[in-house]
């Protein structure tokens, strides 16, 4: 049977939902052809009434959902001084790190230090099996003794022949011949003496000594290994001079090449600032990292500044005009362009407002912030969190309290500028 659904206006024509149903009788007609009265059970009647109620409620119009007001965190940008601070993470390294090795070939018989040990100048570090070297030295000493004996004999003969020549018993030619024999014996003695000294030095080279105070950073050969002359066995880093190794990106190396005085802070003690000096900047980029290797020396390095510690080097650079900075979290890309969301307060006084996208042109990154060259003006408020969840014209409500304006100072634990640039992309 048809069901009528009330429309929005009671006086208007009602809307009829084309719904019908029928209930079949469970009794068969009698043989005489007369149709008996159909009886509908109470259960079927209740189901029918419930279905009609559901159909009637479904025919009505549903109210539109209320617009979601999303809470946002805002930042009021300002124009700071033109000076910029660029920070780069690096590692504390020694000025000089030597790969020490034996000056003679042989089999390592003992290693006297371990990695991380502090060593002093002249301290033995490792020792070779010097059996063969000792035999060679003994042979050189025997040759020296023989040459010395020959020289002494020639000197005695020369003395006697000089007396005979003075008495006229021998000719001058014979005297000259004896003089030549003595000179040859003295030359052979000097040769044997040099050979003995050289072989004694070879035997002494069987012990590897530290040539300066430092710390053992690595072990390159172990006991039982046969090494060749000059092969690296132990690495020793001198602790007299320490510096920080960093990498400058190619878009900043020219601007920072003229800056020599920098500040250095360690991750372990960010509150301690040390004066540093740029010692060298590589002339070519590293083929793997595409950065320019830079060494920053620390003239007055404290004793507790350990090798391998993480350090941050900050360059201070003066700019031509004030600049505006925003956090990296305020940026998002749309259509290949960098944009930020600008907050526009509503006029109803409810505290809510809307957001609109604004394209910006970015400058150099500075830690967790980035310089905005064009697109923003001082005093505007930008959204700094959840920027990828917004849409143009969306209703938003600022969270209680607004984030402080971006400061040009860079935290010592900030990420390097190259990493910040990668995060922006």
Q: What's the average model confidence in pLDDT over 358-378?
A: 85
Q: Which CATH class is domain 131-204?
A: mainly alpha
Q: Tell me the fold of 97-128+207-236.
A: OB fold (Dihydrolipoamide Acetyltransferase, E2P) (2.40.50)
Whether the predicted pLDDT of 403 surpasses 70: no
Q: What pLDDT score was predicted for residue 66?
A: 62
H or E element that contains 279 = strand 273-281
Give the model confidence (pLDDT) of 123-143 as tens digits.
999 999 999 999 999 999 999
Q: Do domains 71-83+321-424 and 131-204 have the same CATH topology?
A: no
For 372-396, write each residue's pLDDT tens digit. Answer: 888 898 889 999 988 888 999 888 9
Angle at 99 between CA 93 and CA 104, to 5 degrees: 170
pLDDT of residue 256: 87
Q: Which two tokens stand for residue 78?
A: 């300002």
According to the 3-state scheme, what is the secondary structure of 35-99?
CCCCCCCHHHHHHHHHHHHHHHHHCCCCCCCCCCCEEECEEECCEECCCEEEEEEEEEEECCEEE
- pTM beyond 0.75: the answer is no
Question: What is the predicted pLDDT for the residue at 352?
Answer: 86
Domain ranges of the chain: 71-83+321-424, 89-94+241-248+260-311, 97-128+207-236, 131-204
Which residues touch 205 (CB under 8 Å, ≥6 apart)? 102, 103, 104, 133
- Give the domain 71-83+321-424 fold: 2.40.420
Average pLDDT over residues 98-104: 94
């Amino acid at each position: 049977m048809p069901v009528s659904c009330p429309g929005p206006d009671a006086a208007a024509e009602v809307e009829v939902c084309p719904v019908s149903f029928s209930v079949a009788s469970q009794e068969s007609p009698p043989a005489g052809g007369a149709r008996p009265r159909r009886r509908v059970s109470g259960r079927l009647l209740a189901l029918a009434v419930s279905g009609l109620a559901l159909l009637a409620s479904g025919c009505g119009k549903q109210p539109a959902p209320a617009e979601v007001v999303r809470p946002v965190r805002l930042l009021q940008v300002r124009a700071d001084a033109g000076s910029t601070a660029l920070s780069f993470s690096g590692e504390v390294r020694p000025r000089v790190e030597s790969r020490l090795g034996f000056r003679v070939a042989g089999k390592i018989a003992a290693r006297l230090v371990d990695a991380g040990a502090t060593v002093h100048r002249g301290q033995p570090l490792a020792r070779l099996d010097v059996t063969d070297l000792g035999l060679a030295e003994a042979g050189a000493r025997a040759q020296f003794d023989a040459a010395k004996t020959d020289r002494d004999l020639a000197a005695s003969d020369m003395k006697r022949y000089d007396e005979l020549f003075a008495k006229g018993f021998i000719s001058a030619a014979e005297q000259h011949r004896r003089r030549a024999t003595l000179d040859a014996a003295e030359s052979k003695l000097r040769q044997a003496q040099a050979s003995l000294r050289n072989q004694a030095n070879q035997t002494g080279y069987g012990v590897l000594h530290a040539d300066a105070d430092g710390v053992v950073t690595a072990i390159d050969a172990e006991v039982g290994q046969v090494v060749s002359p000059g092969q690296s066995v132990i690495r020793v880093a001198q602790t007299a001079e320490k510096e920080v190794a960093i990498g400058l990106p190619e878009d900043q190396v020219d601007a920072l090449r003229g800056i020599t005085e920098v500040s250095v802070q360690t991750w372990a003690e960010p509150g301690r600032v040390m004066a540093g000096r740029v010692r060298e900047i590589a002339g070519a980029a590293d083929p793997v990292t595409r950065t320019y290797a830079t060494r920053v020396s620390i003239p007055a390095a404290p004793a507790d500044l350990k090798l391998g510690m993480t350090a941050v080097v900050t360059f201070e650079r003066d700019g031509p005009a004030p600049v505006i900075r925003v956090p990296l979290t305020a940026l998002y890309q749309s259509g290949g362009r960098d944009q930020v969301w600008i907050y526009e307060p509503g006029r109803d006084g409810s505290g809510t407002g809307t957001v609109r996208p604004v394209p910006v042109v970015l400058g150099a990154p500075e830690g967790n912030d980035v310089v905005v060259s064009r697109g923003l003006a001082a005093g505007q408020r930008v959204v700094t969190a959840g920027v990828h969840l917004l849409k143009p014209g969306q209703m938003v409500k600022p969270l209680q309290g607004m984030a402080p304006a971006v400061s040009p100072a860079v935290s010592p634990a900030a990420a390097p500028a190259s990493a910040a640039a990668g995060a922006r992309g």
